[in-house]
Chains A and B, each alone.
Chain A
Amino acid sequence: MKRKALVLAGVGAAALAVPSVMTFAAEDFGKYQVGDTRSGYTFAKVETRAIQDDDFENPGMLWVEHGEEVWETVDGKAGKSCKSCHADASDTMKNVGSTYPVFAKDIGKLENVENRINRCRTDNMKAKPWKYDSRDMLGVVSYVKRQSFGQPMNVKIDGGAASWFKKGEEFYNQRRGQLDMACKHCHVDNAGNMIRANTLSQGQGNGFPTYRLKWQKPGSLHRRFRGCNKQVRAKPYKTGTDEYLALELYVMWRGQGLPVETPAVRN
């Protein structure tokens, strides 16, 4: 623990000492760019990145902390907490954020972290499932994914996941809504271009739940999908549906190699 703190302090001091180099090196996005794959971080304003980078300033960290509390809290008829079965999250959850969604053989379908958690709540804790964007769900998902912080995204798209991947890819490339656009028209063909006041990014999912300055609150990836559907005047799907699960897998695959950034900060 001590060593880590020292190293971090060292990095901080180095950054402070050479601000001009930092500005000149703006195009070197370090771990946030892998080949042509770029995190939304690299399209964000410098001030927004600075908020994300500072654990004390990053408001998403409040949800991570709330998640840690919930992790340890007994709930439901079985009288258990997450911790009762999963013990130390930094050990048992360390690969979850970088590998989900996964094909869960026992239920024969694709599962993301939210749905897996709700399965634990209903089946293992005998507790009520959480709504996707409730404070507890956002908190625990943020806490669980935070355990993979910095790990490269590495989702599996073969085996049982293959047909889901294909559906997600089709969704991504299908035009929809009165404005008749597909995800790819904005996030592939026009990444880097301004649309109105926004710089379009590649629409990566590696930072979710993401704290949005506009909402003053974090949001799930599926909430983002709903927003991106509605802005082209298309009927969104409900959070947690098969359509969005498939899309989530495709979106996460597009970001293979990018580090888990949870909680990312965007505007």
Chain B
Amino acid sequence: MNTRRIALGGIALAGLVAFAASATLSGAAEYKVEDEAIKASLTGKAGDAGNGKKVFLNRKKGNCLACHVVASLKDQPFHGQVGPPLDGTASRWKEGELRLRIVNSKIVNKDTIMPAFHRAEGLHRVLKKFKGKTVLSAQEVEDVLAYVMTMKE
């Protein structure tokens, strides 16, 4: 009895370690790009627009207003002008196209200033604290996307 329990404990532990290792190695969820879009949810789940709005505004997370004007958010101070206004963007782009832009805009415009919000590799001199980590988690991307999808003309 005793030995069996120990053995099981060992397997569980090994499993956890392996999981942790793969999570730090890849950092970002896997996804498929087709027709300049990521058509499937990164998590298989739908996004929560309410939480998405919070992530969008949070200066340590999306901080999207640093570069974009959004007319419906005019109660928030300091909208930037580096990117285009996002009003009506969900009428211009399909959901999968917007997901791709949030995950990694460089796939469609390699010179863009817009950060890839869900990418952890191929980056130069990342501060230790952020190394191997994405700016937004896969679910946060889905949540922001759900919020951006409300920006219709």
Interface string of B75-112 (1 = CB under 8 A from A): 00111111000000000000000000000001000000
- B61 → chain A, closest Cβ, in Å? 12
Of B65, B78, B127, the contact of A177 (CB 8 Å cutoff): B127
Instruction: Say whether A178 contacts B81, CB under 8 Å.
Output: no
Complex interface: chain B residues within 8 A of A177 (CB):
123-127, 130
Instruction: Say whether A234 contacts B125, CB under 8 Å.
Output: yes
- B90 → chain A, closest Cβ, in Å? 24
**How many residues in B have their beta carbons less than 8 Å from beta carbons of A?**
24
CA distance A176 to B78 in the complex (A): 25
Instruction: Say whether A195 contacts B66, CB under 8 Å.
Output: yes
Residue from A178, A181, A186, A234 with most neighbouring chain B CB atoms (10 Å): A178
Interface string of A162-178 (1 = CB under 8 A from B): 00000000000011111
- CB within 8 Å of A: which of B95-153? 106, 113, 115-116, 119, 123-130, 133, 135
Of A186, A230, A234, the contact of B113 (CB 8 Å cutoff): A186
Instruction: Say whether A179 contacts B127, CB under 8 Å.
Output: no
Complex interface: chain A residues within 8 A of B116 (CB):
180
**Interchain Cβ contacts within 8 Å, total number:** 69
Kindly report which residue of chain A lies nearest to residue B77, judged by CB atoms: A197
A-side interface size class: 20 to 34
- A207 → chain B, closest Cβ, in Å? 24
Instruction: Say whether B81 contacts A193, CB under 8 Å.
Output: yes
Interface string of A235-247 (1 = CB under 8 A from B): 1000000000000
Q: Is B67 an interface residue (CB 8 A)?
A: yes
Kindly report which residue of chain A lies nearest to residue B63, judged by CB atoms: A196
Given A189-B113, A235-B127, A179 and B82 touching (CB < 8 A)? no
Given A193-B80, A197-B77, A197-B78, A181 and B128 touching (CB < 8 A)? no
Q: Is A73 an interface residue (CB 8 A)?
A: no
CA distance A59 to B80 in the complex (A): 30
Binding site for B on A (CB under 8 A): 174-181, 185-186, 189-190, 193-197, 200, 229-230, 233-235
Binding site for A on B (CB under 8 A): 65-67, 77-82, 106, 113, 115-116, 119, 123-130, 133, 135
